Amino acid sequence: MAQITASVFTSHVPAIGAALDLGKDKEPYWQPLFKGYEYSKQWMKENTPDVIFLVYNDHATAFSLEMIPTFAIGCADSFRPADEGYGARPVPVVQGHPELAAHIAQSVIQQDFDLTIVNKMDVDHGLTVPLSLMCGQPQAWPCPVIPFAVNVVQYPVPSGRRCYNLGKAIRNAIVSYDEPLNVHIWGTGGMSHQLQGPRAGLINAEWDNKFLDRLIADPDDLANVPHIEYVREAGSEGIELVMWLIARGAMSDSFGGPPPSVKHRFFHVPASNTAVGHLILENNQ
Amino acid sequence: MPLEKPYLDVPGTTIFDADQSRRGYHLNQFCMSLMKAANRERFKANERAYLDEWPMTEEQKLAVLARDLNRCIGLGGNIYFLAKIGATDGKSFQQMAGSMTGMTEEEYRNMMLSGGRSANGNRYVGEDGDAQAHRQPQGAAGKAGQPQGAAGLNSAKAV
């Protein structure tokens, strides 16, 4: 049977991708940020999974206002990096895992989460920046990826509680897959940031670090935080953090297992307009 | 019964909800069209003519031509869609975000380097933080008495 061995959490700021693509990652502005991911790249090499289930949000790239799915699972063979207006990022095409994705779609929908099945989709920085941070700049990504897009652009976005419960449903789906695959689940976006209005540039390092503490130690309680607290404390775009609860809900301790080990924790301000947070949690069974 | 909107008292912030989305549908779809290189070229060649192909309001078109992102947001624009205009102009997300505060690029960048804008005083309308309406525009633009960008939001919010 397939199993989830680890979860990874990281911000997915577009400027990080641009810094890498334009060779600016050695500049003093970016050095502290990339230093925080050195451990992660090594960990990724030593713990390469068979599949990454990558929770992210589309930023008005694949989904315009014509259709706004709350939860969309990518079931295609492959996904091209999108042209977000600057030209596509020069990163590898993302290979999917259609068999596992189809299995998860069927199982999760039967657990009462209405997923939208997507068979053709370009993926934006929300998905490719986390891959770049964790894998560097390879010719091909180290394993297949199942993109899972969550609407956090048009309000109302799904609640933290719903995301946490969805993570549990995704775990049920993955561990019922016959093939013995090693799966990572990643939650991306955040941390505190606001990109609009006179309040643009809001950062709340204290709130962010409490969020990290609670995500590690008491995610079930963290899932109770209402949207308005994210907006007030972490900025209007800080709401992306609800996606981290999907990945966290898929860990063993949500099912009575032992708590995960914290392999790595990193926090840095700023990357462009945003506070960057990062965690690697390993399951202990 | 009107829907509950607990987010209307966050200063300097417009939540892109279903009402805003309906108001801004054509504006945002125009932005979306700039994802294609050929459309970016056509827009740059004659902005007004390109905008006239879209059933946007005159107010929305003028806000785009003026690159007044606060006004665009007030009229139903969403920042992730509006970012396509910035990309077409070769602007970074930081330049776009900064333009809505009234700060110069350097001022905004320095604010971020020193830890960003504090939430203190900026959680509820009526406090005294730097994102509050009575303190706009911020930075040198404000001191020079040249209301731009940020001033647009308050009138836009009244729409």
Q: Average pLDDT, stretch A118-130?
A: 97
Q: Can you tell me the distance from the alpha carbon of A225 to that of A212, in angstroms, rounded to the nearest whole number? A: 13
Domain that holds residue A7: 3-282
Q: Average pLDDT, stretch B8-18?
A: 96
Q: Can you tell me the distance from the alpha carbon of A273 to that of A221, in angstroms, rounded to the nearest whole number? A: 28
Cis bond upstream, residue B112 (ω within 30): no
Q: Average pLDDT, stretch A126-130?
A: 98
Q: What is the CATH number of the domain that holds A53?
A: 3.40.830.10
Amino acid at position B37, single letter: A
pLDDT per position as a tens digit, B73-115? 999 999 999 999 999 999 988 999 999 999 999 999 999 999 9
CA distance B17 to chain A (A): 4
Q: How open is the CA angle B35-A185-A80, to the nearest 5 degrees?
A: 25
Would residue A125 show up in a list of annotated catalytic residues for this protein? yes
Please, where in chain B does CATH 1.10.700.10 lie?
A: 14-91
Nearest to A273 by CA among A233, A238, A231: A238
The pair of structure tokens assigned to A79 is 């996904």
Which residues on neighbouring strands pair with residue A282, listed in sequence order?
A: A6, A261
Pick from A192, A198, A228: CB nearest B6: A228
Determine which helix (DSSP H) or strand (DSSP E) holds B157, and give its type and residue range. helix B150-157
Q: Position of tokens 């700060």?
A: B103
- Second-level CATH architecture of B14-91: Orthogonal Bundle (1.10)
What is the model's pLDDT at position A85? 80
Task: With a threshold of 0.90, tell me whether the complex ipTM lies above it.
Answer: yes
Which residues on neighbouring strands pair with residue A266, listed in sequence order?
A: A278
| pLDDT tops 70 at residue A41 | yes
CB contact under 8 A, A232 and B137: no
* Cα A56 → chain centroid: 4
- Residue A179 has, within 13 A of its CA and on its CB side, a CA count of 10
**What percent of chain B lies above the pLDDT cut of 70?**
88
Query: What are the angstrom distances between the C-alpha of A48 and each of A55, A76, A167, A173?
Result: 18, 22, 21, 21
**DSSP category for residue A259:** P
Residue A59: burial class (beta carbons within 10 Å; 0-12, 13-18, 19+): buried
What is the model's pLDDT at position B159? 31
pLDDT per position as a tens digit, A198-231? 999 999 999 999 999 999 999 999 999 999 999 9
Determine how β-strand A116-118 pairs with β-strand A71-74.
parallel
Helical spans, DSSP H, in A111-239: 125-135, 160-175, 205-217, 219-222, 227-234
Q: Can you tell me the distance from the alpha carbon of A86 to that of B37, in angstroms, rounded to the nearest whole number? A: 9
Q: Which residue, among A27, A129, A199, would best test binding to B if mutated, counting the most B CBs under 10 Å from its CB?
A: A199
Would residue A184 show up in a list of annotated catalytic residues for this protein? no
CB contact under 8 A, B35 and A84: yes
Q: Can you tell me the distance from the alpha carbon of A35 to that of A59, in angstroms, rounded to the nearest whole number? A: 27
Mean of the per-residue pLDDT values of chain A: 97
Q: Can you tell me the distance from the alpha carbon of A105 to that of A116, in angstroms, rounded to the nearest whole number? A: 8
Nearest to A126 by CA among B115, B83, B111: B83
Q: Can you tell me the distance from the alpha carbon of A263 to that of A42, in angstroms, rounded to the nearest whole number? A: 12
What is the model's pLDDT at position B144? 59
CB contact under 8 A, B123 and A65: no
- Residue A103 has, within 13 A of its CA and on its CB side, a CA count of 17
